[in-house]
Each structure stands twice: as C-alpha cells, then as structure tokens.
Chains A and B, each alone.
Chain A
Amino acid sequence: MDAVFKALADAGRRKLLDALHRENGQTLKRLCDHLDMTRQAVSKHLSLLEAANLVVTVREGREKRHFLNPVPLYAIYTRWIGKYEVNRLSALSDLKNKLESKRKE
C-alpha cells in the first residue's frame, strides 16, 4: 500500500491516471500528446505507476498500451475511507440518540 500512496503523491502521476480514466489503453505517444510533460517524465511516471499496480501494460505488436487498474485504489477506499466514514456516521447516530433520549427525560 506504501507504493500506491507514493505513486499518488504526485500531481503529474495523478494527471496520467485521469488521462487513462478518460481513455483507457493509451500508448506512451498518445499520452504524451495530451500532457504537458516530456516523454522521459511520462515514461518514468508510468513505470512507477506500474510498480504500484495502478497501471497495467499490454504489448500489442510494437506498441505498449497502458490500462488504469483501480483495484489498489479500491483497497485504499475500504481500508481508509470506508472505515472512517462508518465511524463518522455512527458518531452522528450516537449524537442523535443522545439528544433524543435527553428530550424524553
């Protein structure tokens, strides 16, 4: 999970994930066409994203296509966001119960 957070801690890499979300399966060339980054920077970011399993690559002939893999993001969602959301919601319902029971007293 460290690799995923590290990969997400960069605006350029988040932009690349957004670009793949808009159009999945892009080649390096196509990704470079739309982004204000050098080919070297895009390539470096992509290999970091791939190491974190956020991007999956497939070779098709001479081309390498890049696919967004949201599975690790889902793991973060269930581990962090889901957990705290549940706590926040139960705190609210506790508060509601407390206020309502006071009114009855």
Chain B
Amino acid sequence: MAKSEFIYVTFIRTTPKKLWHALTDLEFGRKYWMGGHQETDWKVGSPWKLFFEGQLADSGEIVEFKPPKRLAIKWRHEMNPKAKAEGYGLCVMALEPMKGMVKLTVTHSIARKDSKLIEAVSGGWPSILSNLKSLMETGKVLMKTW
C-alpha cells in the first residue's frame, strides 16, 4: 500500500478537557514542545505553523477541531527540502477517556511510501508526548529542549 504512517499512543492521567487545553493552548504548548511553539487560531481552514528557535519547521492547515475529542492538521515539513517536496500529510490527535486516564493517539500519515515527512516528524513525537505526559501528571517536563 502506498502509504507511510505511524501511530503513537500514550495514556495520561488527566481529563479530556485538561488534555485538550494542553494540546491547543499555545502558551501552555511552549512548556512541553521542546523549545518549539505553534501559531494558529485553531479554526477549521486556518493556517497552522510550528516554529523551532524562530525557524519555521512545519506548516499546514486545521482540518478538524472537535473539542475535546479530535484534532486534525494538514501537515507539511518545511526544513528538509525532500520532505517539503512531498507536500502535505495528515496529523490526527484523538482523545478517549479510559478509567481515569485519557488515551491519546497521534496518527501521522501521508499517501506515499518511505516518506521523508514521516521520518522527519516521527523522531520528535515520542519526546513531545513523554514530556506532555510528565507535565500533566507531575507538573514537570522531562526535557526543555533537544
């Protein structure tokens, strides 16, 4: 199948409402994005941008915004020229309450094989998600930058 995709899952001891806030509050996001920050107004169809150290790293558009359940972003990598040339993939964040925890599933995909976009973003998600989990559960992040 001509598709590159990864699925990351983490269980966080919190509520869907609090986790949704953590995912979409731009100031709060700075705490666990390892030195990165996002710019968007989260309206469906609005542009979305992710910066690291002032440099545009990824950009795209809000595709779905359904608090506190599902967030989808059309996502293109901007730094690696090969990954940028692949165009847009899709990043979906899904939240499901589960016995006092929230299951957060991040799916990142693009309709092509051996994608450089997927390679570029897949290295970052485990640390971002671990940082987010730690911040929600203990009030502290594991790492401030890469």
Whether A69 pairs with B143 at a CB distance below 8 angstroms is: no
Give Cα A74 to B142, complex, Å.
11
B→A interface (CB under 8 Å): 5-11, 105, 125-127, 129-130, 133, 142-143
Choice from B5, B8, B127, B133 contacting A69 with Cβ under 8 Å: B8
B5, B130, B142: residue with the most chain A Cβ atoms closer than 10 Å: B130
Interface size on A, residues (CB 8 A): 14
Whether B7 pairs with A58 at a CB distance below 8 angstroms is: yes
Choice from A24, A25, A69, A78 contacting B9 with Cβ under 8 Å: A69
A→B interface (CB under 8 Å): 24-25, 53, 56, 58, 67-71, 73-75, 78
Q: What distance in Å separates the Cβ of B91 from its nearest Cβ neighbour in chain A?
A: 15
Choice from B7, B127, B142, B143 contacting A56 with Cβ under 8 Å: B7
- When A56-B105, A78-B142, A78-B143 are in contact, do A73 and B126 touch as well, CB less than 8 Å? yes
Whether B126 pairs with A70 at a CB distance below 8 angstroms is: yes
Whether A71 pairs with B142 at a CB distance below 8 angstroms is: no
Give Cα A57 to B40, complex, Å.
31
Q: Which 9 A-B pairs have the closest CB atoms?
A: A74-B126, A67-B7, A78-B142, A71-B10, A56-B7, A74-B130, A56-B9, A70-B126, A71-B126
